[in-house]
Structure 1
Amino acid sequence: MTGDGYSQTSKPSGRASWQAPVAAGPLHATVTVPGSKSLTNRELILAALADAPSRLLSPLHSDDSARMIEALRALGVGIEFVEGAGPYGDDIEVTPVWPLRGDTEVDCGQAGTVMRFVAGLGGFARGDVTLTAHESALHRPMGAMITALRDVGVDIDDGGHWALPFIVRGHGHVRGGEVTIDASASSQFVSGLLLSAPRFDVGLHLVHAGARLPSIPHIDMTVEALAHRGVHVERPGVGEWIVPAGPIRGKDVSIEPDLSNAAPFLAAAMIVGGSVSVTGWPAHSTQPGAMLTDILSLMGARVVRRGGALTVTAGAGIQGVDLDLSAAGELTPTIFALAAFADSPSTLHGIGHIRGHETDRIAALVAELRGLGGDAEELPDGIRITPRPLQGGMWHAYHDHRMATTGALIGLAVAGVEVDDIGTTAKTMPEFPQIWQRMLEGGVAEGGVSEETMRAS
């Protein structure tokens, strides 16, 4: 047994609540969202392992990316901030070192990408690397990752509890080879291994042996990021990847907007009417948020991409759906909010893995909607939502950024909704409350955050 259990949800207390603003009428706004967290943290890892310096253009500056930067700096990687052209802060220059520096500690905060991606890097250090996390994130599944890293030669001392905190006893290199993993709990296990694999002595032959593999687009994102840096990943079968040992190219990389962070803004138009446009929407993307175009259309919106922007316009109503969200579980909270206002019941399934995110999102969403008078029930692998009139009340965020934005979304149409900790949105979008308010005021909604602000947060 690896001990990969899921935590019970716990409601934080003692924070000042945020009154969710109610929309005065239909929306007419253009929104610019910051860069993708998933892409930013993958590119930071690859830049740290590259054969030459790299520059990340328009990266995300948030709690999660700050944790990754702090982790890489602790391992000796050079990271500097240089003036960028976008509205959301500086570009990032990364100067790799080899081998990485040991005898250090990495605090992963609440960032799953940091704990899963940096664990593999610890084997490249000379000396011990201690990985820990915020107390609210110590429950997140790590056992399968620990087992797989041991199988490729990483020396890990976890005290027998198969979870954070643990010590990676780095020897300056990792053997690599063939390994089988059950990544049912998180696709980040696969991505973490693939990102480090080119630096393994003999590369990696990875096989997933679990019942299912969630969030496959995130794995596609990892494979594509490696390809852009000259690493060709073979995929001989479903759930199987072969990565050759070899160099990772240093290069300049532009980071796409975070399409999942755009979801609440686009959904807002469907709930209160009007239209919302998100700028910089890519024509092609491996982000799970790219599925929004089909999902929102299915739920009754008119969705158009023109001039690099995606525009969602409300239809006659929101339609109930039966959706398999296994490939895009992170969209569940936003789709859940839409379903609460639909014209018929909805069932969201294929999302059992989101019980192991920042909180048990299935239990939390059901509990909070019921707290506002709504009707939802937990399913073994999903949620069923039956629309009914809602009332104001406290919406608990559970230290989870997507729970917080869901409360804001519901509050657009329900007076008196309070989010107990809107500040948790800083995990991936520190500017969320300001951009949300500007969206309601119409015009162009964007924001900016400095490195000094992130260091102080």
Structure 2
Amino acid sequence: MATTAPHWSAPTTRRPVDASVSLPGSKSMTNRALVLAALGTEPTLVRAPLLSRDTELMAAALRRLGAEVTATGSGTDLRVTPHPPRGPATVDVGNAGTVMRFVPPLAALADGPVTFDGDARARERPVGPLLAALRDLGATVVDDGRGALPLVIHGRGELPGGTVTLDASSSSQFVSALLLSGPRFAQGVEVRHVGAPVPSRPHLDMTVAMLREAGARVVTDTPDVWRVAPGPLRTTAITVELDLSNAAPFLAAALVTGGRVTINGWPENTTQPGSVLPELFTRMGGTVHRDPAGLTLHGTGTIQGISADLHEIGELTPTIAAVAALAETPSRLTGIAHLRRHETDRIAALAREITRLGGNVTELEDGLVIEPGPLHGGVFHSYDDHRMATSGAVLGLAVPEISVENIATTGKTMPNFPELWGEVVHAAT
């Protein structure tokens, strides 16, 4: 009989934390780097990648399509040797948005059928606009009209490409997916977005920057239009930055406890959404200092609520909401309707779980209104969502006896989160 893992007791501290944290690599950059390397002309070393469930799923998908992805002798880097995509193949996307969206365009270049399926939640997540775009570009996609997994892409060894129009208002990954494989399409690709604003624009900036660094010609001089010319991708090494979105709960720990946390190696320039964390947490009461070692956030002992449109940086919402629930003044977080189709409906889940602990949260169509108040212990459900789990940990810093359900789900992007979190909490002065 299967057993359920016990809930994780979130550590609480009444003392300021004082820690320096070295975070693993960015999931978003790692999976983009793996796709670009698999489509390249020569072997590529992906330096300092994230090794987690999402990136392992991506590596496995690329291997299924013919690429070699192997760990180096040190075990800290990955070497990718490209091979023309081939089928038949079966790809397990798990619940990784980057895998379910970035790999289908590559599969359209294969010389046989490629079947995609994943976790139950993956079958509920949007992919229809991408599939329609692939059909318009010349691919054969069989999904029985669902616009969702499971599906089969019947590759013919090439894809004409050209100009396509789609609505990417539910996920910027639809655009990134087409751009990443675009250099290998016979005519390249021109992607035109129509609809409400594309969320998570920094991730599109990341895609464009990484394509250019790999030698692709990308034109972005017209709003909501991206053009990638056909041509080879030539790269021998891609270095992955540390994951700034995963820095969010650790910086929040400094704010919540009135302590200090340094994120080692914070990049000077980056396209990652997490780059706005210093500004957001300064508005909520922290102070920020930068030096060659990294970025340090100092909590002041006071947490202020915030009114913020998080449309561009939605993945930071769970941490911001947790801090807001511990603030002295109300918060209003908007622009995040697209979070309803992430690993879980994050808007509904945050409202439900904070309220379950005694909070006062109003669910908006596109966000949350959080009225601070006394919280109490209880079970914080994660919904198999890594960012829900880490937000429960943030609340547990200040609220005794919070138990987080399925803390192991943090392995999606940070396999050692419980251990690293424990080290930070115990490094209290």
What is the TM-score when the length of structure 1 is the normalising length? Answer: 0.92
Q: Does 1:177 align with 2:167?
A: no
Unaligned runs of 5+ in 1: 1-12, 444-457
Q: Which amino acid aligns with 1:282?
A: P
Matches within 5 A, 1:339-378: 339-378=324-363
Q: Does 1:424 align with 2:414?
A: no
Deviation string 1:112-146 (CA, Å, 9 cap, x unpaired) is 00000001111111110000011122101011111
Structure 1 partner of 2:385 = 400
1:31 Cα deviation after fit: 0.5
Structure 2 partner of 1:45 = 35
User: How big is the alpha-carbon RMSD for the aligned residues of Structure 1 and Structure 2?
Assistant: 1.1
Structure 1 partner of 2:179 = 194
Confirm or deny: 8 A CA contact 1:282 1:308 kept in the other structure: no
Length, aligned pairs only = 426
Structure 2 CA distance for aligned equivalents of residues 65 and 431 of structure 1 = 15
Confirm or deny: 8 A CA contact 1:103 1:129 kept in the other structure: yes
Q: Does 1:19 align with 2:9?
A: yes
Structure 2 partner of 1:152 = 137
Runs of 4+ that moved beyond 2 A = none
Confirm or deny: 8 A CA contact 2:379 2:404 kept in the other structure: yes
Q: Secondary structure at the match of 2:305?
A: coil
Confirm or deny: 8 A CA contact 1:20 1:411 kept in the other structure: yes
Deviation string 1:326-362 (CA, Å, 9 cap, x unpaired) is 1100000010011111121100111000111000000
Structure 2 partner of 1:216 = 201
1:24 Cα deviation after fit: 4.2
Q: Does 1:437 align with 2:427?
A: no
Unaligned runs of 5+ in 2: none
Q: Which amino acid aligns with 2:420?
A: I
Question: 2:270 is matched with which residue: 275, 285, 295?
Answer: 285
Q: Which amino acid aligns with 1:25?
A: R
Question: 1:75 is matched with which residue: 61, 65, 74?
Answer: 65
Identity fraction in percent: 49
Structure 2 partner of 1:447 = none
Moved more, 302-311 or 110-119: 302-311
Structure 1 CA distance for aligned equivalents of residues 380 and 239 of structure 2 = 36
Q: Secondary structure at the match of 2:353?
A: helix
Structure 2 CA distance for aligned equivalents of residues 207 and 222 of structure 1 = 16
Confirm or deny: 8 A CA contact 1:205 1:243 kept in the other structure: yes
Deviation string 1:15-51 (CA, Å, 9 cap, x unpaired) is 3211101124111100011000000000000000001
Deviation string 1:288-311 (CA, Å, 9 cap, x unpaired) is 000111111111100111114110
What is the TM-score when the length of structure 2 is the normalising length? Answer: 0.98
Confirm or deny: 8 A CA contact 1:136 1:399 kept in the other structure: no
Moved more, 14-23 or 319-328: 14-23
Structure 2 CA distance for aligned equivalents of residues 304 and 63 of structure 1 = 33
Structure 1 partner of 2:304 = 319
Structure 1 partner of 2:77 = 91
Q: Does 1:63 align with 2:81?
A: no
Q: Does 1:258 align with 2:243?
A: yes
Q: Secondary structure at the match of 1:126?
A: coil
Q: Does 1:119 align with 2:119?
A: no
Question: 2:316 is matched with which residue: 308, 326, 331?
Answer: 331
Q: Which amino acid aligns with 1:337?
A: A
1:316 Cα deviation after fit: 4.1
